[in-house]
Amino acid sequence: MLGNFSYKNATKLYFGEDSLDYLNEELPKYGKNVVLIYGGGSIKKNGIYDSVIAILKANGKNIVEDGGVMPNPTADKLREGVKIAKAHNADLLLAVGGGSCCDYAKAVSVSVHCDEDPWDKYFACFEEPDCEIVPVGCILTMAGTGSEMNGGSVITNHDTRQKIGHVFGDEVMPKFSILNPRFTMSLPKRQMVAGIYDIFNHICEQYFSGEDDNVSDYLAEALMKSVIRNSLIAIENPEDYEARSNIMWAATWALNTLISRGKTTDWMVHMLGQAAGAYTDATHGMTLSAVSLPYYKHIMPYGLQKFKRFATEIWGVGAEGKTDEEIASAGLLEMEQWMRKIGVAMHLSELGATEDMIEGIADATFILDGGYKVLDRAEVVQILKESL
Ligand code: NZQ
Ligand code: ZN
Q: What is the pLDDT of residues 225-252, one digit of tens each?
A: 999 999 999 999 999 999 999 999 999 9
Q: Which residues surround ligand 2, an ion (CB under 5 A)?
A: 198
Q: Which residue in 142, 128, 139 sits closest to 105, CA to CA?
A: 139
* Model pLDDT, residue 3: 85
Distance (angstroms) between ligand 1 centre and the Cα of 328 equals 32
Distance (angstroms) between ligand 2 centre and the Cα of 299 equals 19
Q: Which residues pair with 14 in a beta bridge?
A: 178
The answer to whether the beta carbons of residues 71 and 162 sit under 8 Å apart is no
> What would the pLDDT profile of 128-155 be if each residue is shown by its tens digit?
999 999 999 999 999 999 999 999 999 9
* Model pLDDT, residue 211: 83
Distance (angstroms) between ligand 1 centre and the Cα of 148 equals 11
In the chain, DSSP assigns E strands to 12-15, 33-38, 62-66, 92-97, 136-140, 152-157, 162-167, 176-179
> What confidence category does residue 184 fall into, taking pLDDT thresholds of 50, 70 and 90?
very high
Report the C-alpha gap between 380 and 133 in whole angstroms: 37
Architecture of domain 12-183: 3-Layer(aba) Sandwich (3.40)
* Cα–Cα distances in angstroms (integers) from residue 307 to residues 146, 288, 310, in the given order: 25, 18, 5
Q: Pick the residue whose CA is nearest to atom 41 on ligand 1.
A: 145
pLDDT at residue 1 is higher than 90: no
pLDDT at residue 2 is higher than 90: no
Distance (angstroms) between ligand 2 centre and the Cα of 267 equals 9
Three-state DSSP string of 45-77 = HCCHHHHHHHHHHHCCCEEEEECCCCCCCEHHH
- The share of the chain scoring above pLDDT 70, in percent, equals 100
* Model pLDDT, residue 242: 98
The residues, ordered by sequence, that sit 6+ positions from 197 with a Cβ below 8 Å of its Cβ are 285, 286, 288, 289, 339, 342, 344
65: how many CB neighbours lie within 10 A of its CB? 14
Q: Is 284 in the pocket of ligand 1 (CB under 6 A)?
A: yes
> What confidence category does residue 213 fall into, taking pLDDT thresholds of 50, 70 and 90?
confident
351: how many CB neighbours lie within 10 A of its CB? 20
Q: Is 206 in the pocket of ligand 1 (CB under 6 A)?
A: no
Q: Which ligand is nearest to the CA of 163?
A: 1
Report the C-alpha gap between 282 and 301 in whole angstroms: 30
Strands 33-38 and 12-15: unpaired
What are the backbone dihedrals phi and psi of residue 21, each rounded to the nearest 5 degrees, phi first? -55, -30
Q: Is 371 in the pocket of ligand 1 (CB under 6 A)?
A: no
The answer to whether the beta carbons of residues 178 and 139 sit under 8 Å apart is yes
The residues, ordered by sequence, that sit 6+ positions from 222 with a Cβ below 8 Å of its Cβ are none
Q: Is 151 in the pocket of ligand 1 (CB under 6 A)?
A: no
In 201-303, DSSP assigns E strands to none
How big is the chain by its Cα radius of gyration, in Å?
A: 20
pLDDT at residue 368 is higher than 90: yes
Distance (angstroms) between ligand 2 centre and the Cα of 113 equals 28
What CATH number does the domain located at 189-387 have? 1.20.1090.10
Three-class SS of residue 34?
strand
Any idea where the domains of the chain sit in the sequence?
Answer: 12-183, 189-387
- Average pLDDT taken over every residue of the chain: 97
Question: What 8-state DSSP symbol labels residue 188?
Answer: -
Mutate which of 38, 74, 103, 163 for ligand 1? The one with the most ligand atoms within 8 Å of its CB, which is 103
Buried b (16+ CB within 10 A) or exposed e, 160-176: eebbbbbebeeebbbbb
Q: Is 146 in the pocket of ligand 1 (CB under 6 A)?
A: yes
> What confidence category does residue 48 fall into, taking pLDDT thresholds of 50, 70 and 90?
very high
* Cα–Cα distances in angstroms (integers) from residue 130 to residues 106, 283, 376, in the given order: 14, 32, 35
Q: Is 46 in the pocket of ligand 1 (CB under 6 A)?
A: yes
3, burial (CB in 10 Å: exposed 0-12, middle 13-18, buried 19+): exposed
Three-class SS of residue 92?
strand
Q: Is 270 in the pocket of ligand 1 (CB under 6 A)?
A: yes
Q: Which residue in 320, 315, 208, 338 sits closest to 265, CA to CA?
A: 208
Amino acid at 113: H
Mutate which of 36, 141, 286 for ligand 1? The one with the most ligand atoms within 8 Å of its CB, which is 141
